[in-house]
Amino acid sequence: MRKIDRIIKRHKKKGALVPLLQDVMAEYGYLPQRTIERISQELDIPLSQVYSLATFYKSFSLTPRGKYLISVCLGTACHVRGAPRIVEKLERDLGIRAGETTKDSKFTLETVNCLGACALGPLVVIDGKYFGRINLSRLDEVLKDYLK
Amino acid sequence: MVRLTIDNKKIKVEEGTTLLETAQKLNIEIPTLCHHQALKPYGACRVCLVEVIKGSRLGLVASCTYPAEEGLVARTETERVKRARRLSIELLLARCPTSEKVREVALELGVKKVRFKEEKEECILCGLCVRVCEEAIAKSAISFINRGADREVTTPFKIGSLACIGCGACVYLCPTGAIKIEDVRKCRRLDFWNTKLELKKCKVCGKHFVPLVELDYLKDRIKSFEEMELPEEALEVCPKCRKRILSEKAGEFIFGEKYP
Ligand code: SF4
Ligand code: FES
Ligand code: FES
């Protein structure tokens, strides 16, 4: 049985869409169109409604994400502590805009609004790891590890 | 039943009735943009705001979604209500300055100038199209996507819809005229939905007149042609020819074979 079959089977009975899409995200890193269409058929939910949900949450992506997801917090606290400059630097260094993925599929850059750890701001999360009180030179250091 | 008061008029209504419906029963006019009596209320446009007084608390609520409650007192004509409605319509007008319907309501509410930056959006996100497609047609071909400032209505993946039957119900209800529908030779086009549908040819005059998928849908919905004394071919003939044939038949019936 293919992975996607198993994921769908697991959620089919309850018909809960959000956990299903979360599992697909975890497995494939994004929500492929084919998969969304298939989910709509198997769960007998109009395609438009699955698509609506898939575009509603920031943690869902319709395009493939890079190996490492870099999230920069742009919430108020992080913002006033210089987060915009962090974003700018990352955009320059990686050659992509926020919301995009590098050509080599290594990094996806996104901005989020408050991660709930304002005291640590400005805050960057790379591949699930939190880097608090980050500044431009520390960012260079941190990035080095991932650029290897 | 619950008893409530709107603009000092007392009334008793069925539980679950909205304030808007209650006001309508009292012949009190409330402007609306996103409401349709046949569809579930949605509360998107905020031009139907009224003031409700519960105990000592005062609040502005959308009358199209707010249910009548026992003892509730509502007012629809206070300064505060007028100001709030004006702000709602001013924002919508800034978004869609060219929409007839929005301008009409703005005029009614006395809004002539817009203080906000004008945009050239076509859609006010009232959701009438989404609701009619889901609730009345049962096709759900379209939906809201994204959220916040990026919210819009569209088809899945923004490509031609496989669910759309081209019935035009959304076109009919849209207050801004954002959705256009057009028959170009063998094809019905709904460009707003990126959708094109093949049309069926009229058996008599040869004109293309109904999307094949809509025809299937209708055949499906009309359970028993016999019961309705309708020949199944009735749907294969365009409305114009159908009318002519019917009147000819009526003529024969009344005046005998030789008519005309
Ligand atoms: S397209 Fe028209 S009916 Fe649909 S949400 Fe926009 S304004 Fe409303
Ligand atoms: S503002 Fe960044 S964590 Fe709260
Ligand atoms: S009619 Fe009530 S919010 Fe639009």
Closest residue of chain A to B142, computed from CA coordinates: A48
Query: In this structure, how many other beta carbons lie within 10 angstroms of the beta carbon of residue B183?
Result: 16
**Nearest CA among B179, B221, B172, B192 for reference residue B36:** B172
Residue whose Cα lies nearest atom 3 of ligand 1: it is B174
Q: Does A72 share its domain with A125? A: yes
Q: What SS3 state is found at B104?
A: helix
Q: Which ligand 3 atom minimizes the distance to the CA of B63? A: 2
Q: Does A48 share its domain with A96? A: no
The overall longest dimension of chain A from CA atoms, in Å, is 52
- Per CATH, the number for B2-108 is 3.10.20.740
Q: Are the CB atoms for B50 and B94 separated by under 8 Å?
A: no
What is the per-residue DSSP string for chain A?
A: --HHHHHHHHHHTTT-HHHHHHHHHHHHSS--HHHHHHHHHHHT--HHHHHHHHHHSTT--SS---SEEEEEE-SHHHHHTTHHHHHHHHHHHHT--TT-B-TTS-EEEEEES--S-GGG-S-EEETTEEE-S--HHHHHHHHHHHH-
CB contact under 8 A, B147 and A56: yes
pLDDT value, residue B56: 76
How far is the centre of ligand 3, averaged over its atoms, from the C-alpha of B62 (Å)?
Answer: 6
CA distance A146 to A107: 9
Q: Where are the domains of chain B?
A: 2-108, 128-253
Return the bridge partners of B169, or none: none
Of B140, B146, B147, the CB nearest to A48: B140
CA distance A3 to A102: 26
Q: Per residue, what are the HEC states of A127-143?
A: CCEEECCCCHHHHHHHH
Q: Is residue A45 part of a domain?
A: yes
Task: Determine the Cα angle at B63 with ends B62 and B64, to 5°.
Answer: 95
Residue whose Cα lies nearest atom 3 of ligand 3: it is B43
Q: Does A40 share its domain with A98? A: no
Q: Is residue A134 part of a domain?
A: yes
Q: Does A90 share its domain with A42? A: no
Question: Which of the residues in chain B have pLDDT under 70?
Answer: 224-226, 228, 257-260
Q: What are phi and psi of A59, to 5 degrees?
A: -80, -5
Q: Are the CB atoms for B193 and B167 separated by under 8 Å?
A: no
How far is the centre of ligand 1, averaged over its atoms, from the C-alpha of A111 (Å)?
Answer: 30
Residue A54 burial by CB count (10 A; 0-12/13-18/19+): exposed, middle or buried? Answer: buried
* Structural element, H or E, at residue B154: strand B152-154
Reported pTM: 0.86
Contacts of A49 in chain B (CB under 8 A): 140, 143
Residue whose Cα lies nearest atom 1 of ligand 2: it is A75
Q: What is the mean pLDDT of residues A50-74?
A: 93
Q: What are phi and psi of B176, to 5 degrees?
A: -105, -10
Q: Does A135 share its domain with A81? A: yes
* Structural element, H or E, at residue B92: helix B79-95
Q: Is residue A37 part of a domain?
A: yes
What is the per-residue DSSP string for B2-64?
A: EEEEETTEEEEE-TT-BHHHHHHHTT-----SS--TTS-----S-TTEEEEEETTEEEEEETT
Q: Does A103 share its domain with A140? A: yes
How far is the centre of ligand 1, averaged over its atoms, from the C-alpha of B129 (Å)?
Answer: 6
pLDDT value, residue B76: 97
Q: Which residues contact A76 (CB under 8 A, 6 or more apart)?
A: A114, A118
Residue B244 burial by CB count (10 A; 0-12/13-18/19+): exposed, middle or buried? Answer: middle
CB contact under 8 A, A47 and B134: no
pLDDT value, residue B224: 67
Q: Number of folded domains in chain A? A: 2
Select from B129, B135, B137, B145 the residue whose CB has the most chain A CBs within 10 Å, as the one to mutate to test that interface: B145
Residue B105 burial by CB count (10 A; 0-12/13-18/19+): exposed, middle or buried? Answer: buried
A128: CATH: 3.40.30.10
Residue B4 burial by CB count (10 A; 0-12/13-18/19+): exposed, middle or buried? Answer: buried
Q: What SS3 state is found at B73?
A: strand
Contacts of A55 in chain B (CB under 8 A): 145-146
Q: Is residue A115 part of a domain?
A: yes
Contacts of A56 in chain B (CB under 8 A): 145-147
ipTM over 0.95: no
Q: Does A75 share its domain with A133? A: yes
pLDDT value, residue B2: 96
How many Cα atoms sit within 13 Å of A27 on the Cβ side?
16
Residue whose Cα lies nearest atom 1 of ligand 3: it is B32
Structure tokens at B20: 């808007």
Query: Which residues approach ligand 1 with their CB closer than 6 A?
Result: B 123-129, 153, 173-176, 178-179
Q: Does A137 share its domain with A81? A: yes
CA distance B70 to B59: 16
* Structural element, H or E, at residue B79: helix B79-95
> Which residue is it, tokens 């199944």?
B232
Q: Which ligand does the CA of B32 lie closest to?
A: 3
Q: Does A87 share its domain with A131? A: yes
Q: Which ligand does the CA of A133 lie closest to?
A: 2
Domain that holds residue A15: 3-56
Q: Does A85 share its domain with A124? A: yes
pLDDT value, residue B58: 83
Q: Which residues contact B24 (CB under 8 A, 6 or more apart)?
A: B30
pLDDT value, residue B35: 97
Q: Is residue A61 part of a domain?
A: no
Q: Does A18 share its domain with A79? A: no
How many Cα atoms sit within 13 Å of A81 on the Cβ side?
20
